[in-house]
Amino acid sequence: MPYEKRFTLRESHRAAVAGARPAGAVPNDEIIHASVVLRRRSAPTGTGKLRRMSREAYGAAHGADPAALDAIEKFAHQFGLSVAERHADRRVMVLSGTANAMQKAFGTQLARYQTREGVTYRGRSGALNLPTELEHSVMAVLGLDNRPAAKPHFRKRTAAGRATSFTPIQIAQLYNFPSGVNGSGQTIAIIELGGGYSTDDLNTYFTQLGINAPQVSAVSVDGGQNQPGGEADGEVMLDIEVAGAVASGAQIVVYFANNTDQGSHDAIAAAAHDTTHQPSIMSISWGQSEDSWTEQARNAMNAALEDAATMGVTVTVAAGDDGATDGAADGQLHVDFPASSPFAVACGGTTLKASAGAISSEQVWNDLASGNGATGGGVSDIFALTLAPYQQNAGVPALASGFAGRGVPDVAGDADPATGYAVLVDGQNAVIGGTSAVAPLWAGLVALINQQMGKPLGYLNPLLYQVPESVFHDIVTGGTDGYNAGPGWDPCTGLGSPNGTALMNALMGASAAAGS
């Protein structure tokens, strides 16, 4: 009989949230949507030098094997599940069915739990068990457990004191962003796992800045919606307003998904493979410490980010706002994921001060002593340095365990709420910081450079480590709770903040030399 023999998907193992308590059973007839992520039919060439491909060519070469998709569909029907979505290019099949059917299909038990913060989620523990017929096809099964997967990396200013603020345009001027370009012809994808935006607010904000509002649209992923009215609106509006102010001629597409591992993966995959909007840049301001994700979720998301890099999409990701521990309960050093992916440009944070229209000082953002956050950064204990060969000569320190990991961040920018960004959120003026501001800032800069070049920069990481150090403002002052800044790359601010025009000129030369 088919499907009687099972294998354990070890990468799917997970435990209950620390401190969570049981909160009842999951009704057998509750409808669940789960994303089955399949393996590629063939792998790209590797992290050092990716051969750029069109979305159509990439899907044909590295998408899911049609036979594997058919096998998943047959399996689903055998267990009373239906196919809600089928994406060969993204390697995702979304299955729908009752909780009872899902538990039988994937060999698990579901229950309700409530966290210390009062959040109720549908959870599981242990690993999933699937029929051996699918062993060589399935990379991950996401969505059975719908606990919150990530947190937004923005910080609202809590006290004025001696604080100041900047508009995104002023920040761009301080960093010498290229003039004469506005990102026209570029599409910036923004990943959001909650919250929403108001078109009226956006129009008001950009009118106040004296610039045309960018074209902004929303895409629903796994049922996620543009739903303004909550705390996460600060994240959504910050992302759009920073990127849009820097690159007002760009099209901005916001991919809304639920804050789960399924939503995180599926939104990234949807943006990467979007043949309608065709983003050339992706900005992500949500994340969580590496160890908080299951191995299957990290693997699937990292593969989606590799897809994006190979298809010419530059991905900028916030490095976190909780210092070198990334806010982990164990107090040990951690870096944030997806920022730690070798295919992401990890964006750290600084405290920026200016006088007479020029930078007067810039140092590592660290206000942990007053509870107001600090830049994330450090060394991955998941992704080996060999997966980020562009950092081989950057001086990334080994961990105490001896593991040589990928260093975070790659670059930096103003993130301190005390020197934060003036934005408009839900009709109210606000000053917001966090590395969430740095990811869209760099996304906007890449849009300007792409327009000037006449082609996308694409996988930016290797190029960043080839250009002269002089195109960055090297941050050598300050530190976090685990690392100190110093000359060249460091685990607080990476290579530094940008001298935008100088960086553009250097990248254009490096890109031409690399033939990309």
Catalytic residues, which ones? 235, 239, 436
In the sheet that holds 138-142, the strands lie side by side as: 82-87, 92-98, 31-38, 138-142
Distance CA 483, CA 492 (A): 7
Tell me, what DSSP letter sits at residue 375? -
For 427-449, b where at least 16 C-beta lie within 10 A, e where not — what string? eeebbbbbbbbbbbbbbbbbbbb
Q: How far is the C-alpha of 247 from the C-alpha of 186, rounded, in Å?
A: 9
Q: How far is CA 201 from its chain centroid?
A: 25
Helix axes 295-310, 261-272, angle to 10 degrees: 10
- φ, ψ dihedrals at 210, nearest 5°: 80, 25
What amino acid is encoded at 272 in this protein? A
CA dist 26 and 122 (Å) reads 7
Rounded Cα gap, residues 333 and 320, in angstroms: 13
* Tokens read off for 85: 């979505």
- Summary count for the chain: helices (H), strands (E): 11, 28
CA distance 211 to 8: 55
Q: How far apart, in whole angstroms, are the C-alpha atoms of residue 87 and residue 36?
A: 10
* The token pair that represents 49 in the structure block: 């030098």
Contact, 478 vs 485, CB < 8 A?
A: yes
Residue 121 β-bridge partners: 113
Measured CA to CA, the distance from residue 442 to residue 24 in angstroms comes to: 45
Residues facing 8 on adjacent strands: 129
- Assigned token pair, 123: 């959870």
